[in-house]
A and B are shown apart, each in its own frame.
Chain A
Amino acid sequence: MTTTSGTFDVARIREDFPLLKQTVNGKPLVYLDNAATSQKPQSMIDALVRYYTTENSNVHRGVHTLSQLATDDYEAARTKVRKFINAAEDHELIYVRGTTEGINLVAQTFGRQNIGQGDEIIISTMEHHSNIVPWQILCEEKGAQLKVVPINDSGELLIDEYEKLLSPRTKLVSIVHQSNALGTINPMEAIIEMAHSRGVPVLVDGAQSIPHMTIDVQKMGCDFFVFSGHKLFGPTGIGILYGKAEYLNAMPPYQAGGEMIRSVSFEKTTYNVLPHKFEAGTPNIAGAIGLGAAIDYLNDLGMERINTYEKELLDYGTDCLSRIEGLKIIGTAKEKGGILSFVLGDIHPHDIGTILDTQGIAIRTGHHCAQPVMQRFGIPATARASLAFYNTKAEIDSLVEGIDRVLEVFS
């Protein structure tokens, strides 16, 4: 078993993830469901334990020592996120529950403020439901229209069609960076440039891209970027909405309550400054600190090295799976991240998932909250193996053996 790739010592790295050591159904766990959620390094888990054991208190409220410590760590985590995605200012980062809440926040504030009757929002065929439904609801409320960029048979966005859809009525473009169902990595810089040349802002759903590549929001040029901590080796219930200050400042508040106000009287309430304006109520303090710890961990490994290793793993997986007779990979874009979505003859993905599970192999089966993608390919569901940097070629070999077992059962 080779788990060392260049200087990327995967065997060593796996030691950092306690959950990966367990057996499932009597077999060593092969965790290939990283696009759903990722596993957690011990240092991240320790940060949560340390916070609750030694520091737990509310932020931005107390003058006492613990509250000060908690506030410092909570805000230090924000700075870590800023550096991680190269945002210009800490206050451009809003803590939210995850990608879903980030998109809903923008829809309910920026969207309700700027999108009206006859206006248009552009999304794509490969969006996760969380980047479709909030816009549909907004469009219904405002009498606006959703325009959808089509994709080709490889699962690549048709950029020419996108350009044609941009019109004077377009008020926002909201596109996924890396598709969770297909793995396609979209050319965000080009997409953003075309929108900006017409004065249209762009939201990027970064849920699936940020765990696997270096993100530089200033270089990319996006106006909003959202992601979930739990897919980035951090805790559940925490995520980030990045927005350019000019937009965030102009947007009305999302939720109302404590923390987001500057002064309240029954006659008039004035809102707090960024980022607090969008962080009503006691936030997920431990979550933010855990996210910061996950980012520390990733910085130690290096996103470039992670990306290089994962590419190698994806190439290996693509090659192995392509050799299996009757197996068809759904999503074969030239620019692609570590997602292997496939169908296997007429064997239903549920059956594949169950048989693999008995061998300790965890994959996802279903429509992956991307039903329009399934419709585009004329299938009800796929089986999906999604990779992270702690996966190995040996695990891909186990997946292949598992699929062979599926074929045996259904032969």
Chain B
Amino acid sequence: MSQLPDVPLDGLYGDAIMDHYRNPRRRSPLPNADIESHELNPFCGDEITLRMKLGADGRVEAVSSVSQGCSIIQASASMMAELMTGQMLSALKERSQKFRSMMRGESLAEDDLKGLGDLLALLVVRRYPVRIKCALLPWLALEEGIEKMASDGVRLYPKNEGI
């Protein structure tokens, strides 16, 4: 019957998540961003607005991630923002897909797990199925932003890597 460990909350409100929740990174709205995307979960009011500015080389130069809602969306939004700077959109898209499959319960290769860094702390959310969508919402905003960029003809990949 019980799907949860006897130890209450087993890490759901652990240090990494609470740190990002209490001290969210990249939270001041970025002025003159190249792209803005927004996601809302009408069921609980969770909300995120993501803004990105790209450098001449196509890498993310600056980002702001402003979220409202529960601890999980806020921590996820903060962790995501923290790892975006300096990345190509193609790499972020790949990471987002890896993260989503991890949250869906698929097992990932050792290397992929390492690449997720702090995000591994969100693994615990898998034990709380109704909360998984809270963790995913920021990433939906990221993927939507990347889509918008792609449809605007923005280069997603570094030079010489081809498309």
Q: What residues of B have a CB within 8 angstroms of the CB of A380 in the complex?
A: 44-46, 68-69
B1 near A350 (CB under 8 angstroms)? Answer: no
Choice from A23, A26, A365 contacting B44 with Cβ under 8 Å: A365
Question: Which B-chain residue is minimally distant from A379 (CB atoms)?
Answer: B45
Knowing A25-B2, A348-B70, A354-B128 are in contact, say whether A409-B9 is a contact too (CB < 8 A): yes
B8 near A358 (CB under 8 angstroms)? Answer: yes
Knowing A354-B131, A380-B45 are in contact, say whether A359-B8 is a contact too (CB < 8 A): yes
A366 near B43 (CB under 8 angstroms)? Answer: yes
State the CA gap A365–B131 with chains docked (Å): 12
Q: Is B6 an interface residue (CB 8 A)?
A: yes
B2 near A26 (CB under 8 angstroms)? Answer: yes
User: Can you report 21 A-B residue pairs in the complex whose CB atoms are below 8 A from each other?
Assistant: A23-B2, A24-B2, A348-B71, A349-B70, A350-B69, A354-B12, A354-B128, A354-B131, A355-B9, A355-B13, A358-B8, A365-B44, A366-B43, A366-B44, A367-B45, A380-B44, A380-B46, A380-B68, A380-B69, A405-B8, A410-B13
Nearest CB on A from B118, distance (A): 19
B70 near A358 (CB under 8 angstroms)? Answer: no
Nearest CB on B from A398, distance (A): 14
Q: What residues of A have a CB within 8 angstroms of the CB of B70 in the complex?
A: 348-351
A350 near B6 (CB under 8 angstroms)? Answer: no
Contact residues on B (Cβ < 8 Å of other chain), bracket: 20 to 34
A interface residue numbers (CB < 8 A to B): 22-26, 348-351, 354-355, 357-359, 365-367, 371, 374, 380-381, 405, 409-410
State the CA gap A166–B43 with chains docked (Å): 33
B72 near A358 (CB under 8 angstroms)? Answer: no
State the CA gap A336–B7 with chains docked (Å): 38
State the CA gap A63–B68 with chains docked (Å): 63
Q: A354-B131, A371-B42 are in contact. List 4 more A-B contacts (CB 8 A).
A: A23-B2, A348-B44, A351-B71, A355-B13
Q: Is B134 an interface residue (CB 8 A)?
A: yes
Which secondary structure characterizes the binding site on chain B?
Answer: loop
Knowing A24-B2, A365-B44, A367-B45 are in contact, say whether A350-B13 is a contact too (CB < 8 A): no
Question: Which A-chain residue is minimally distant from B45 (CB atoms)?
Answer: A380
Q: Is B4 an interface residue (CB 8 A)?
A: yes
Knowing A24-B2, A25-B2, A365-B44 are in contact, say whether A350-B134 is a contact too (CB < 8 A): yes
B131 near A367 (CB under 8 angstroms)? Answer: no
Q: What residues of A have a CB within 8 angstroms of the CB of B1 in the complex?
A: 22-24
State the CA gap A59–B121 with chains docked (Å): 57
State the CA gap A314–B150 with chains docked (Å): 56
Nearest CB on B from A361, distance (A): 12
Q: What residues of A have a CB within 8 angstroms of the CB of B68 in the complex?
A: 380
A350 near B72 (CB under 8 angstroms)? Answer: yes
State the CA gap A371–B45 with chains docked (Å): 10
Q: What residues of A have a CB within 8 angstroms of the CB of B3 in the complex?
A: 25
**B125-138 contact mask (Cβ, 8 Å, vs A): 1 or 0:** 00010010010000
Q: What residues of B have a CB within 8 angstroms of the CB of A367 in the complex?
A: 42-45
Nearest CB on A from B77, distance (A): 13
Kindly identify, within residues 3 to 54 of chain B, every residue whose CB is under 8 Å from any CB belonging to chain A: 3-4, 6, 8-9, 12-13, 42-46
Knowing A380-B44, A409-B9, A409-B13 are in contact, say whether A358-B69 is a contact too (CB < 8 A): no
Which 7 residue pairs spanning A and B have beta carbons closest together? A380-B45, A348-B70, A350-B70, A358-B8, A409-B13, A25-B4, A25-B2
Question: Which B-chain residue is minimally distant from A409 (CB atoms)?
Answer: B13
B9 near A358 (CB under 8 angstroms)? Answer: yes
Question: Which A-chain residue is minimally distant from B128 (CB atoms)?
Answer: A354
Q: What residues of A have a CB within 8 angstroms of the CB of B4 in the complex?
A: 25, 357-358
Nearest CB on A from B16, distance (A): 14
Q: What residues of B have a CB within 8 angstroms of the CB of A354 in the complex?
A: 9, 12, 128, 131
Nearest CB on B from A217, distance (A): 34
Q: What residues of A have a CB within 8 angstroms of the CB of B42 in the complex?
A: 367, 371
B43 near A348 (CB under 8 angstroms)? Answer: no
State the CA gap A371–B44 with chains docked (Å): 10
A348 near B69 (CB under 8 angstroms)? Answer: yes
State the CA gap A25–B8 with chains docked (Å): 9
State the CA gap A366–B41 with chains docked (Å): 11
Q: What residues of A have a CB within 8 angstroms of the CB of B46 in the complex?
A: 350, 380
Choice from B45, B71, B134 contacting A381 with Cβ under 8 Å: B45
Question: Which A-chain residue is minimally distant from B134 (CB atoms)?
Answer: A350
Q: What residues of B have a CB within 8 angstroms of the CB of A349 in the complex?
A: 44, 70
State the CA gap A359–B9 with chains docked (Å): 10
Q: What residues of B have a CB within 8 angstroms of the CB of A355 in the complex?
A: 8-9, 13
Listed residue (B3, B43, B72) with the most chain A CB atoms within 10 angstroms of its CB: B43
Nearest CB on A from B7, distance (A): 9
Nearest CB on A from B43, distance (A): 6
